[in-house]
């Protein structure tokens, strides 16, 4: 979102990488590695596959332990 204001003059010396770029880079890398690890450990079930039937089994089995406070079926129309 460059807004047309003039970029600052950065001087004569070649610039190093600012600290905040390193922080963001490490955070993004950590998240990508975490997603990769979850994918490998979960047998490739991270991402869209997580929301499919395999995840549904987990959801149904955990819901089974909560029969008392379970879902209310409400009729529509």
Partner 1 sequence: MLMPPRLRKFALAVHLTCSVGWLGAVLAYLVLDISAATNRDLVTVRGAWIAMGLVVSRAIVPLAVASLLTGLVMALGTKWGLLRHWWVLISFVLTVLAFLVLLSEAGVVVRNATVAADAASSAEVRALTPTLLHSGGGLLVLVLIQVLNVYKPQGLTPYGWRRQQAERRAGSGNRSGAEDQRPRGIWRALSGTRRRP
Binding site for partner 1 (CB under 8 A): 1-10, 14-15, 17-18, 20-21, 24, 28, 31, 47-48, 50-53, 55-56, 59-60, 63, 69-74, 76
3-state secondary structure at position 50? helix
Angle (CA) 70-57-35 rounded to 5° is 115
User: Minimal distance in Å, beta carbon 7 to partner 1?
Assistant: 6
User: Minimal distance in Å, beta carbon 37 to partner 1?
Assistant: 14
User: Minimal distance in Å, beta carbon 65 to partner 1?
Assistant: 13
Residue 14 has what DSSP assignment?
Answer: P
Nearest to 37 by CA among 24, 27, 25, 46: 46
């Amino acid at each position: 979102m460059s807004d047309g204001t003039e970029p600052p003059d950065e001087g004569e010396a070649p610039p190093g990488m600012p600290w905040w770029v390193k922080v963001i880079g490490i955070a993004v890398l950590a998240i990508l590695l975490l997603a990769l690890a979850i994918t490998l450990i979960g047998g490739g079930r991270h991402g869209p596959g997580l929301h499919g039937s395999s995840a549904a089994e987990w959801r149904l089995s955990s819901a089974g332990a909560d029969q008392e406070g379970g879902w209310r079926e409400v009729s529509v129309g």
